[in-house]
Amino acid sequence: MRKTILISAIFSCFLGSFSFASSVKKDPSPHSEAKLLTDSSHKRIGFWLKMDSHWHTYWKNPGDSGLPVRFEWELPSGMTVQEREWPTPERVETAGITTFGYEDELLVSFDVGTNVQTPVEIKLIAKWLICEKVCLPASAELKAQYIPTETTDSKTAALFAEFEKKTPTALVGKNSVEVSDDSLEWNIDLSSLKTMPKRFEFFIQEKGIVDYSVPVKISRNKNILSLKQKKSEYAKSTPAELHGILKLTPFNSFFVTAINKTPVTITNETSSISSLLNSTDLGFITALLFAFLGGIILNLMPCVLPVISIKALGLIKHSGSRGEMTKKGLLFLLGVLTSFWVLVGALFILRAGGESIGWGFQLQSPLFVGLLASLMLAMSLNLLGVFEFGHSFALVSSRVQTEHPLVESFLSGILTTLVSTPCSAPFMGSALGYALSRPPVESWIIFTALGLGVAAPFTLVSLVPGFLRFLPKPGAWMDTFKKLLSLPLFATVGWLVWVYALQTEQSTLIGLGVSLVFLTIALIVYGRMISNPKGSTPVRSVLILVMGILFLSIFPWKPRISAPSSHDHTAGIWQPYSRELLETNLKMGKSVFVDFTAAWCLSCQVNKKLVLAQPDIEKAFTESGIVTLEADWTNENPAITDALQKLGRSGVPVYVFYKGNQHFILPEVLTKQIVTDAIERNKK
Amino acid sequence: MKCIIGIILGLLIGFATPAFSENAPKSEFKPAKDFKLMVLGTRKLMTLEQFKGAPLVLEWSNPDCPFVQKHYDSDNMQKLQKKYTALGIKWGIVFSGKTAKIKEKLLKNYYRRDKKIAKDVLLLTDESGDAGHDYGAKTTPHLFVIDAKSNLVYFGAIDDHRSADDNGFDKAKNFVAPVLDDLIAGKTPTQEPQAPYGCSVKY
């Protein structure tokens, strides 16, 4: 030690600029110098690291050894930064050990949130490893003044520009990766490239999945590049999406996002909060049971109850021959099951085609929501007695049905399924998530169980006529009851229109409103015509025809979907979800709460109204320092679908706390107590 | 009509049964590869065979590595070694490649004099790097646990605190201790391999 001091003393005499004290004190950032740079012209800041020659530091995935550079931000409240893609690293291989890193110089850029208007002081604590033959831990506390109006000096701007060139650009196309027991097989779509690369390197971004020591097997079929990598013996479950860099040259590289085609395996982090119903680790039999029970409960949902009740009333009124009732019951069952099978089939076909969709996906289509609203309106008017289809409580306006009660039973089964799907999440979130993550045959069975549950009450009544005795005798009460049942249906129409309003642009919404008015007029006139046949039939027929045509022509068949920003209804403490925002906050050591929700999800709205949007809960979130994000799934959003898949879910609502590498899922039905307890548990 | 329901139920049960067989716990371990390691400062050769009958921990190490230093400066590694060697488990600290060429005295001074490791812990050299490559040792530290029947029952990181600094280190979840506890209790270890972290082994 004395020798070192002597030597440094001699050096400091010669060099003059080094103080004696600093050469004795441990340098926090040996062989490297870090700075926090601001580029206000492009609303970004950057962590700049200059390393001594031959020393290096590591990429996000450091490879066999090393650690990535880590960032902890201290930002003024309200300010957010989003990490950009890191520059393309170099592969360093020594004696069978592969690492990915940077030599000489590194700049990692962060986008500054647009809400920063005034100069602010930002602080960054960065930690990295600096290695040559030996590795040394290094850290720096960096401060910078970010002045939004300032023009970046040319030297800094040039540095940012240089590293932007070294950063991979996203590869356009559908890429996939399949993970087997011992390998990963990437299929990368190169059709967007002008020329096919002859020489390239490929680095996977996720840590600990690939054994780097085994050479990559490469093959190409037209535009599809296939890369086979050996799976690491340490690899466990793989996420729903894997990433990598395809490096042609340091200045020409592409960022590859690939959908993991392997059935999602869920890392099981049991938490005391989640109840049995919410546990993601459901066994197959348990999932079947929950699906069946959930199906039965669905009969009570406001959107389903009227449909079922109408059927039951129909049975009481027309308790015809036993054989016919049995047929009706079974056809209803068949209608429910068929539509469940069609939905699941469609889901799997679309998924196989690379679409990111989940349960309830049909409600993400405004066209479907609009048609459903029209149908519901017609049904509620029917229940209200505005019009009737002969003697039957028909569902879709068609004469065929009155003549074929069996067809009607089948159709009402289909309708029951369609209206029940959005209500299914609160009872079966984990069962459905489990089902959709299983191989198709197993999913199919679970959904069949769900369908059996939905159809069970009505089918049982029709199969065992003895049950009819428990129902009250037909009478005048039935008419009143029917009218009462129209109320939840009207409410459903109102809700569907609200969903529609969030999904579409104003002009489309007006179109729907006007067409619904014409539909109502047409049905009122039709009702009059049936109940009072003495009036002028031709005139009324023409009127019905005109109104019907007006409805069909004004109805927005090609709804204009509103841009997400135009209905940005996240407010207050809630920020819109993005994966980057989640990851940045987690890296900063913060806990994050994400509310996965959708306008068409009724239970989501109830939870929001009664719990999450309550002032005391919002206050509890703010005081705990937990970042609150809202993931709005009203419209199709692959990023949110993927996040749900990673959680082992396929629908909303999902309420989840992320903390470090862990996450805790709350039940689908929230109470203030549940949320405050969870906040207490997850704050730092 | 009841037949139809019967068929549906039958199908459900038929499909449901094979689903039970999934998630079988994997309990087969691979036999550990043989190795030739030299006891530091001697010409004494140690092989896998000689350790048979007692569980063995091989710990790849390098005194220049800050990840290793973190575990020795905090007395974490020594405590682990002391506790388990006292319970009859063999423990070898392995130096591969260039690390094995560090002067014998410097290595001994660091581990025995400065860091006061338990007496029973062996310092082993692997100058050729063959043992390291055979075992797939990538980092320092990188640990391998071999049971009394010479099966490799755990390999990978020592804990989940993947960092060179000791910030929050006390809360780290150790992966090796539960494996050794299981072996001592005569149970089959259940800890899955965890990706190692640290400096590269200097082959």
Question: Who's near A606: CB < 8 A, 6+ residues apart?
Answer: none
The H or E element containing residue A201 is strand A201-204
Which residues of chain A neighbour B197 with C-beta distances below 8 Å?
65, 67
| Packing angle of the helix pair A305-317, A477-503 (nearest 10 deg) | 150
Q: Is the pLDDT of residue A12 over 60?
A: no
Closest partner CB to B16 (pick from A99, A134, A288): A288
Q: Give A27's DSSP letter.
A: P
Q: Is A615 on the interface with B (CB under 8 A)?
A: no
Q: Is the pLDDT of residue A15 over 80?
A: no
Q: Is B191 on the interface with A (CB under 8 A)?
A: no
Q: What are phi and psi of B54, to 5 degrees?
A: -140, 150
- A526/A571: higher pLDDT: A526
Where do runs of H (alpha helix) occur along chain B?
2-16, 48-51, 66-73, 76-86, 104-108, 130-135, 176-184
- A649/A404: higher pLDDT: A649
Count other C-beta atoms under 10 Å from residue A24's C-beta.
12
Res. A5 pLDDT band, cuts 50 70 90: very low
Q: For the ranges A400-414, A452-466, A586-600, which has the lowest average pLDDT?
A: A400-414
Mutation target among B135, B200, B202, B203 for the A interface, most CBs of A within 10 A: B200
Count other C-beta atoms under 10 Å from residue B26's C-beta.
8
Contact state of A285 with B16 under an 8 Å Cβ cutoff: yes
Q: Which residue of B has its CA nearest to A212?
A: B138
Contact state of A64 with B139 under an 8 Å Cβ cutoff: yes
Which residues of chain A neighbour B15 with C-beta distances below 8 Å?
441-442, 445
Give the number of beta-carbon pairs within 8 Å between A and B.
88
Q: Is the pLDDT of residue B183 over 80?
A: yes
Task: Compute the residue count for chain B.
Answer: 203
Q: Is the pLDDT of residue A529 over 90?
A: no
Which residues of chain A neighbour B8 with C-beta distances below 8 Å?
448, 452
Name the most confidently modeled range: A292-306, A659-673, B41-55: B41-55
- B36 has which bridge partners? B47
Contact state of A284 with B16 under an 8 Å Cβ cutoff: yes
Nearest-neighbour CA in chain B from A202: distance (Å): 21
Which residues of chain B neighbour A134 with C-beta distances below 8 Å?
64-65, 199
Can you tell me the distance from the alpha carbon of B128 to that of B37, in angstroms, rounded to the nearest whole number? 10
* Angle (nearest 5°) at CA A21 between A15 and A24: 95
- B7/A108: higher pLDDT: A108
Q: Is the pLDDT of residue A274 over 60?
A: no
Q: Is B65 on the interface with A (CB under 8 A)?
A: yes
Q: Is A442 on the interface with B (CB under 8 A)?
A: yes
Cis (ω within 30 of 0) for the bond into A653? yes
Can you tell me the distance from the alpha carbon of B33 to that of B15, in angstroms, rounded to the nearest whole number? 42
Can you tell me the distance from the alpha carbon of A160 to that of A42, in angstroms, rounded to the nearest whole number? 10
Question: Who's near B9: CB < 8 A, 6+ residues apart?
Answer: none
Q: Select from 2.60.40.1250, 2.70.210.12, 3.20.20.150, 3.40.50.720 the CATH code of A31-147.
A: 2.60.40.1250
Count other C-beta atoms under 10 Å from residue B170's C-beta.
9
pLDDT at residue A279, rounded to an integer: 37
Q: Is the pLDDT of residue A556 over 90?
A: no
Q: Is B12 on the interface with A (CB under 8 A)?
A: yes
pLDDT at residue A410, rounded to an integer: 81
Name the most confidently modeled range: A48-57, A411-420, A467-476: A48-57
pLDDT at residue A357, rounded to an integer: 60
pLDDT at residue A137, rounded to an integer: 86
Contact state of B66 with A208 under an 8 Å Cβ cutoff: no
Percent of chain A's residues with pLDDT above 90: 17
pLDDT at residue A276, rounded to an integer: 33
pLDDT at residue A430, rounded to an integer: 53
Contact state of B67 with A135 under an 8 Å Cβ cutoff: yes
Q: Is A134 on the interface with B (CB under 8 A)?
A: yes
Q: Provide the residue ranges of all domains of chain B, joining segments of one domain with +.
A: 29-200
| Amino acid letter, A521 | I
Q: For the ranges A496-500, A603-607, A622-626, which has the lowest average pLDDT?
A: A603-607
Mutation target among A60, A64, A460 for the B interface, most CBs of B within 10 A: A64
pLDDT at residue A401, rounded to an integer: 42
Question: Who's near A289: CB < 8 A, 6+ residues apart?
Answer: A449
pLDDT at residue B89, rounded to an integer: 94
Q: Domain A572-682 classified CATH 3.40.30.10?
A: yes
| Cα B158 versus chain centre, distance | 7
Q: Is A321 on the interface with B (CB under 8 A)?
A: no
Contact state of A448 with B165 under an 8 Å Cβ cutoff: no
For residues B27-33, average pLDDT: 84
Question: Who's near A339: CB < 8 A, 6+ residues apart?
Answer: A413, A414, A417, A418, A451
Contact state of A67 with B162 under an 8 Å Cβ cutoff: yes
Can you tell me the distance from the alpha carbon of A602 to that of A254, in angstroms, rounded to the nearest whole number? 42
pLDDT at residue A309, rounded to an integer: 73
DSSP for A471-533, please give it: SPPPSTHHHHHHHHHHHHHHHHHHHHHHHHHHHB-HHHHHHHHHHHHHHHHHHHHHHHHHH-T
Nearest-neighbour CA in chain B from A273: distance (Å): 22
Q: Is B96 on the interface with A (CB under 8 A)?
A: no
Q: Is A95 on the interface with B (CB under 8 A)?
A: yes
Q: Is A57 on the interface with B (CB under 8 A)?
A: no
Q: Is B33 on the interface with A (CB under 8 A)?
A: no
- Tell me if domain A31-147 and domain A170-260 are identical in fold: yes
Count other C-beta atoms under 10 Å from residue A114's C-beta.
9
> A652 near A360, Cβ under 8 Å?
yes
- A550/A430: higher pLDDT: A550
Q: For the ranges A331-345, A389-403, B37-51, which has the lowest average pLDDT?
A: A389-403
Contact state of A96 with B197 under an 8 Å Cβ cutoff: no
Closest partner CB to A326 (pick from B1, B98, B202): B1
Can you tell me the distance from the alpha carbon of B52 to that of B90, in angstroms, rounded to the nearest whole number? 10
A312's torsion region: left (phi>0), alpha (psi -120 to 50) or beta? alpha
Count other C-beta atoms under 10 Å from residue A195's C-beta.
7
Can you tell me the distance from the alpha carbon of B190 to that of B179, in angstroms, rounded to the nearest whole number? 7
Can you tell me the distance from the alpha carbon of A340 to that of A449, in angstroms, rounded to the nearest whole number? 10
Contact state of A445 with B15 under an 8 Å Cβ cutoff: yes
Q: Which residue of A has its CA nearest to B17?
A: A285
> A32 near A57, Cβ under 8 Å?
yes
Which residues of chain B neighbour A449 with C-beta distances below 8 Å?
12
Q: Is B99 on the interface with A (CB under 8 A)?
A: no
The H or E element containing residue A154 is helix A154-165
> A610 near A557, Cβ under 8 Å?
no
Domain B29-200: which CATH class? alpha beta
Q: Is A207 on the interface with B (CB under 8 A)?
A: yes
Res. A146 pLDDT band, cuts 50 70 90: very high
Closest partner CB to A330 (pick from B1, B66, B195): B1
Contact state of B8 with A233 under an 8 Å Cβ cutoff: no
pLDDT at residue B23, rounded to an integer: 32
> B81 near A151, Cβ under 8 Å?
no
Res. B7 pLDDT band, cuts 50 70 90: very low
Q: What are phi and psi of B59, to 5 degrees?
A: -120, 110
| Amino acid letter, A665 | I
Can you tell me the distance from the alpha carbon of A682 to that of A674, in angstroms, rounded to the nearest whole number? 12
pLDDT at residue B132, rounded to an integer: 95
Q: Provide the residue ranges of all domains of chain A, joining segments of one domain with +.
A: 1-27, 31-147, 170-260, 276-365+391-476, 572-682
Q: Is B127 on the interface with A (CB under 8 A)?
A: no
The H or E element containing residue A539 is helix A537-554
Which residues of chain A neighbour B131 with C-beta distances below 8 Å?
none
The H or E element containing residue B37 is strand B36-39
pLDDT at residue B6, rounded to an integer: 33
Task: Compute the residue count for chain A.
Answer: 684
Q: For the ranges A44-48, A221-225, A398-402, A445-449, which has the lowest average pLDDT?
A: A398-402
pLDDT at residue A365, rounded to an integer: 76
Which residues of chain B neighbour A94 with C-beta distances below 8 Å?
200, 203
Tell me the Cα Rg of chain B: 22
* Angle (nearest 5°) at CA A391 between A389 and A396: 35
Question: Who's near A490: CB < 8 A, 6+ residues apart?
Answer: A377, A380
Question: Who's near A597: CB < 8 A, 6+ residues apart?
Answer: A604, A605, A608, A630, A631, A632, A633, A652, A653
Q: Is the pLDDT of residue A93 over 80?
A: yes
Can you tell me the distance from the alpha carbon of A3 to that of A231, in angstroms, rounded to the nearest whole number? 49
With H, G, I as helix, E, B as strand and everything else as coil, classify residue A450: helix
- What are A479's two structure tokens? 């008419």
Domain at A170-260: CATH architecture = Sandwich (2.60)
Contact state of A234 with B195 under an 8 Å Cβ cutoff: yes
pLDDT digits (tens, 9 = 90+) for A68-88: 999 999 988 878 888 999 999
Where do runs of H (alpha helix) occur along A588-624?
602-607, 615-624
> A448 near A417, Cβ under 8 Å?
no
- A93/B47: higher pLDDT: B47
pLDDT at residue A543, rounded to an integer: 82
Question: Who's near B160: CB < 8 A, 6+ residues apart?
Answer: B172, B173, B175, B194
Closest partner CB to B19 (pick from A66, A233, A442): A442
Average pLDDT, whole number, for chain A?
78
Question: Who's near A418: CB < 8 A, 6+ residues apart?
Answer: A339, A362, A372
Q: Is the pLDDT of residue B41 over 50?
A: yes
For residues B116-137, average pLDDT: 94
Can you tell me the distance from the alpha carbon of A282 to that of B34, in angstroms, rounded to the nearest whole number? 42
Q: Is B129 on the interface with A (CB under 8 A)?
A: yes
Can you tell me the distance from the alpha carbon of A314 to that of A501, in angstroms, rounded to the nearest whole number? 35
Which residues of chain A neighbour B129 with C-beta distances below 8 Å?
95
Tell me the Cα Rg of chain A: 31
Which residues of chain B neighbour A330 with C-beta distances below 8 Å?
1, 4
Q: Is A26 on the interface with B (CB under 8 A)?
A: no
> A297 near A304, Cβ under 8 Å?
no
Which residues of chain B neighbour A233 with C-beta distances below 8 Å?
136, 155, 193
Which residues of chain B neighbour A265 with C-beta distances below 8 Å?
none
| Amino acid letter, B18 | P
